[in-house]
Structure 1
Amino acid sequence: MGYGVYSPDTVKRLKEGFVSNLEGTTMREIAAMSALLPAFVILRQCWPSPSGKSSEIGRSNEDSKSSQRWPNFWRSLALDCVVIVMPTVACLTVLADWVYSILAAVSGLLFILISSQRLQSSSPHGASVERDQDSSRKSYLSSYRFEMMLVTCVTILAIDFTVFPRRYGKTETYGTGLMDIGVGSFVVANALVSRQARNLPPSKHGGVLRNTSPLLLLGFVRLILTKFLDYQEHVGEYGVHWNFFFTLAGVALLTSLISISPSRCLPLGIIILSVYQMLLSSGLNVYLLSPMRGPGFLSLNKEGIASTFGYWGLYLISVRLGYLLNSKQTSVVHPVSSLSNKEEKRTVPLRSGIVVGMWILDAILWGLAVWADYFVERISRRTCNLAYVLFVLAQNFEVIGIFMLAEVLIPLREVALLKVFDRNLLLTFLVANSLTGMVNMSMYTIFVAPVKAFLTVLLYALALVGLMGVASRCRKAKA
């Protein structure tokens, strides 16, 4: 029977049911996926240069200006799509059941490439490049932010198709789905590069209003469009009126009202999460996860309002960790070969000990996440409880640790796609949501065959890259 026999209202209910009552997957599978997807970015970053010349992040100003020309930019972006975007879409859809095998194969390929480049750079005639300290200091953060946004943008559309595994979707109450970490990762990504994390004074232009008004505006626009277009929505995710942007605005408002130094963010974040978790364990979790709602605004949006405090605690902890990551002790300066082929001795602030420390921290976070999930309360994105915060921190710092390790091992190539996304995170997310809405309004996604669904998600991802590439070039041309 064709899907044309269904009324729009019936299809809406079917779509809402399609993304409801999901139970998630294991933390082990999410940890494996969190290692696999960054591997594609690293593979592109250490991709051999066709010309045989060095083209790493620290190349000369003349080469840098040349690379900004339109043809070179789009050729580079096209290769980025082939090496990064297409495999990412495939692994999140048609190849999801082979994640462990693909991870092993890609890891082996990376080992060969990195070993080859390290041997070449250690030879007397090996190319060695000086990297700009200010930009490379944060390159692993840029890579992490890009990867987080790419996965988020792909999954928000892919979840509406049958080709996307249901175990990767957002869980109904408790559990760990791949999409559960999206909102938390966005909060972490913003905190790591916030003005507080970079030890900069608060902005003098607008203060609280400047930090919250754009997010509030986006939240109201999304609310109005969702209701006006009768777009499918899962009310149990945030509530009847609440959405992702209101949560971000709430976190920004609370942070702006209580301005403290980065050194005090960690203890305050721990206190907030501890008190919030005690309230959850005392019965608040039963109320928040119950389908029953009263007529008041607080009751109608209980999940979104209450979880904002959990996300605030997550944000404050991430600010402190971001302050440590943004310090000069975590920058990278690779050795420079002089014209006489004698290597100058330069300090390498991002020592192996710092990377080891990052992995020890991540192992502790994973251990605490498992402990909290078993002995405190199961991981719940809807309430943003203690276990969820630890789980999000562990997953995100695993990705950061992978990029830090790669950056220590070899000088990494500048990737155009990373800059396009990292400099326009919020705009990228808005464009992705708009494209997702257009796709959902143009077809009944739950009835689309797997092959067609995969091609649709892939074309959507490529269209997103193209649009953001145009926006990036236009922005640079005006600068």
Structure 2
Amino acid sequence: MEVYNYKHYHEQFMQNLNGTTPTEILLVVLPAPIGIFLSTFLCAVLLCLKPQKISTPTNFVCWLPIFVDFITMIVPLVLCFTICSDIHVVITLIFMVGLFICVVYCCTSCRKVLSQDYVSTLLTTQILPNKRPFVTNFRAVMNLMTGICILAVDFKVFPRRFAKTETFGYGLMDTGVGMFVISNAVVIPEALGYKGKSQTLASAMWRSIKSTVPLLLLGSIRFFVTKQIDYHMHVSEYGVHWNFYITLAITKIICTLILQFVDSDYSVIITAVVIGIHELMLVSGIQDWVLSNVARENFVTANREGIVSCLGYVALYFAGICLGQGLRDYKSSFQSNIYLMGKQIIISVLLWSATALCKYWFGVSRRLANIGYIIWILALSTTVLVILILVELLTWTLNMVFKANTKNEKDGRFHLTIGYVPVTLEAINYNGLFFFLLANVVTGLINISVQTLTFGVLQSLSIICGYMFVICNVTVLLYFKKIKLKVW
């Protein structure tokens, strides 16, 4: 196909999409948390079955978990996002059966321990006080799903209902920037309870601007490169010059400014006030202006989506701080983490109810980052966190059972320790923004090299899986070398 005609065809292929249902989006991501448990469990079993004693790290130890991660987490997500999108419930059920088999196997092997007075000991046991694996898994899974989608969307095997919506609606790719903001907000010092040293307004703002310079540079480079090579762009996503990196940078600068005047303990109030201001601006006529066909004659009109939506992402950022503050209060015992899960379930139910109301009152628009979008992203995030907390508690329980059973078995054949975070997710979390940047670069190279929309199913899946294998292995290699590239 001629280059110009293909570019026009590709742009048309990405436009006028209305999304799917929030329920389907939740179901299609469920294999990810279940895959986390299956991956860590299988790695523990396979390494335990290795005959010789492992005293130092070997290639087998390092790369077997990566292969297992790829099979249990990445490939199922690729399938659910593409050719199995209509039967994602079946994939989830298969994964749940696998999870059930693992648990039954463990419980059968350790029935002697389970028959003892074990529950009371478990409930009062200290559980990972310094680091929360479910937060690490949440942040990395979000990045992993985004990495898959930004390339898969360029192939016909990716359902159009999962792509970014034009104006209003629920799209799987609409969750990317929102959940990225949430995942970063939950781990900032203010969310973790660290106030830090008092700073003057000027020094705080200078430090914030300096830290966002890499993001602004990346955003600018992306614009000039795509312009130079005439890369296909969906202008209504952020605008002509605006993009994901600039949104992150501006959001961080605005939030830093607000935190100089209002303490982070008032994050709930800040979130409500910012949402209120943003929504009042939208209903006063800004919304109609953003969604209109007004000519993009100057910087403001050309980038109206990116400029207007920033306030919504600021509200989402403070909501993420509030969420992180709620998570930090439960680090002591297994029982307290059950309470945490119960609390998050209640919050999740309330948020899903609010999402249903917002759909009819305001609509849900990533393009505007309106109240409907903010509530939906929060509902989806808390639900995924609930599932990941459950996975962590289940892993902790089985590890305690194995530990107790080892004391009762002289041969120690049940000496098995299940990990909490797969090595691939640990590596992605270690270099989160680099992983996303690498995914964008490789996606761009693939789109420049081939006409992705002309490929069949098998070719498309091969390219997507190969791409994920490459970017994940590069990220893991950096993690093994302890090379951290931080720009957020």
The TM tier, using the shorter chain, reads 0.7 to 0.9
Quick one: percent identity of the two aligned structures? 29
Shift of 1:125: 9.2
Cα separation, partners in 2 of 1:294 and 1:85, compared to 1, 3 Å: closer
Shift of 1:96: 1.0
User: How far apart, in 2, do the equivalents of 1:122 and 1:66 lie?
Assistant: 33
Aligned AA for 2:380?
Q
Task: Tell me if 1:283 matches 2:285.
Answer: yes
User: How far apart, in 2, do the equivalents of 1:247 and 1:428 lie?
Assistant: 18
Say which SS state the counterpart of residue 24 (structure 1) adopts.
coil
User: How far apart, in 2, do the equivalents of 1:21 and 1:355 lie?
Assistant: 39
Question: Does the 8 Å contact 2:365/2:373 carry over to 1?
Answer: yes
Shift of 1:54: 10
Query: What does the per-residue CA deviation read over 1:28-72, in whole Å, with 9 as the maximum and x for residues that have no partner?
Result: 1012113233221222133373358499xxxxxx98x845x4441
Task: Tell me if 1:166 matches 2:152.
Answer: no
Cα separation, partners in 2 of 1:393 and 1:477, compared to 1, 3 Å: closer
User: How far apart, in 1, do the equivalents of 2:10 and 2:474 lie?
Assistant: 27
Q: Which residue of 2 aligns with 1:155?
A: 149
Say which SS state the counterpart of residue 233 (structure 2) adopts.
coil
Q: Which residue of 2 aligns with 1:319?
A: 321
Aligned AA for 1:431?
L
Shift of 1:472: 1.5
Q: Which residue of 1 aligns with 2:178?
A: 184
Q: Which residue of 2 aligns with 1:106?
A: 95
Aligned AA for 2:419?
R
Question: Does the 8 Å contact 1:168/1:178 carry over to 2?
Answer: yes
Question: Does the 8 Å contact 2:47/2:61 carry over to 1?
Answer: no
Residue of 380, 390, 395 corresponding to 1:405? 390
Question: Does the 8 Å contact 1:46/1:413 carry over to 2?
Answer: yes
Question: Does the 8 Å contact 2:43/2:68 carry over to 1?
Answer: no
User: How far apart, in 2, do the equivalents of 1:476 and 1:177 lie?
Assistant: 34
Q: Which residue of 1 aligns with 2:28?
A: 33
Residue of 17, 21, 24 corresponding to 2:19? 24
Q: How does 1:333-412 map to 2 (within 5 A)?
A: 347-348=333-334, 350-374=336-360, 376-411=361-396, 412=418
Q: Which residue of 1 aligns with 2:401?
A: none
Q: Which moved more, 1:286-295 or 1:223-232?
A: 286-295
User: How far apart, in 2, do the equivalents of 1:140 and 1:123 lie?
Assistant: 29
Question: Does the 8 Å contact 1:350/1:408 carry over to 2?
Answer: no
Aligned AA for 1:208?
S
Cα separation, partners in 2 of 1:99 and 1:302, compared to 1, 3 Å: same
User: How far apart, in 2, do the equivalents of 1:218 and 1:350 lie?
Assistant: 42
Shift of 1:304: 0.3
User: How far apart, in 2, do the equivalents of 1:54 and 1:210 lie?
Assistant: 50
Question: Does the 8 Å contact 1:117/1:410 carry over to 2?
Answer: no
The 4+ residue runs of structure 1 with deviation greater than 6 A are: 125-132
Aligned residues: 447
Query: What does the per-residue CA deviation read over 1:283-342, in whole Å, with 9 as the maximum and x for residues that have no partner?
Result: 221111112234221111000000000000010011011112123x2x26xxxxxxxxxx
Q: Which residue of 2 aligns with 1:336?
A: none
Question: Does the 8 Å contact 2:127/2:334 carry over to 1?
Answer: no
Shift of 1:282: 2.7
Aligned AA for 1:392?
I
Q: Which residue of 2 aligns with 1:426?
A: 433
Shift of 1:435: 0.5
Extract unaligned runs of 5+ from structure 2.
397-417
User: How far apart, in 1, do the equivalents of 2:32 and 2:266 lie?
Assistant: 34
Question: Does the 8 Å contact 2:29/2:77 carry over to 1?
Answer: no
User: How far apart, in 2, do the equivalents of 1:209 and 1:121 lie?
Assistant: 55
Cα separation, partners in 2 of 1:54 and 1:265, compared to 1, 3 Å: farther
Residue of 292, 307, 320 corresponding to 1:305? 307
Q: Which residue of 2 aligns with 1:344?
A: none
Q: Which residue of 1 aligns with 2:61?
A: 72
User: How far apart, in 1, do the equivalents of 2:279 and 2:80 lie?
Assistant: 35
Cα separation, partners in 2 of 1:207 and 1:66, compared to 1, 3 Å: same
Question: Does the 8 Å contact 2:43/2:65 carry over to 1?
Answer: no
Shift of 1:120: 4.3
Q: How does 1:80-159 map to 2 (within 5 A)?
A: 80-118=69-107, 120-121=109-110, 123-124=112-113, 133-135=128-130, 137-159=131-153
- TM, length-normalised to structure 2: 0.86
Q: CA RMSD in A?
A: 2.6
User: How far apart, in 1, do the equivalents of 2:358 and 2:263 lie?
Assistant: 28
Query: What does the per-residue CA deviation read over 1:205-249, in whole Å, with 9 as the maximum and x for residues that have no partner?
Result: 962223321211111111111111111100000011100011001
- TM, length-normalised to structure 1: 0.87
User: How far apart, in 2, do the equivalents of 1:169 and 1:477 lie?
Assistant: 31
User: How far apart, in 2, do the equivalents of 1:152 and 1:84 lie?
Assistant: 14
Shift of 1:354: 1.9
Aligned AA for 2:17?
L
Cα separation, partners in 2 of 1:15 and 1:300, compared to 1, 3 Å: same
Task: Tell me if 1:439 matches 2:446.
Answer: yes
User: How far apart, in 2, do the equivalents of 1:355 and 1:179 lie?
Assistant: 27
Cα separation, partners in 2 of 1:436 and 1:476, compared to 1, 3 Å: closer
Aligned AA for 1:377?
F
Question: Does the 8 Å contact 1:251/1:311 carry over to 2?
Answer: yes
Q: Which residue of 1 aligns with 2:410?
A: none
Q: Which moved more, 1:245-254 or 1:29-38?
A: 29-38
User: How far apart, in 2, do the equivalents of 1:108 and 1:215 lie?
Assistant: 43
Extract unaligned runs of 5+ from structure 1.
56-61, 333-346
Question: Does the 8 Å contact 1:211/1:253 carry over to 2?
Answer: no
Q: Which residue of 2 aligns with 1:225?
A: 225
Cα separation, partners in 2 of 1:51 and 1:236, compared to 1, 3 Å: closer
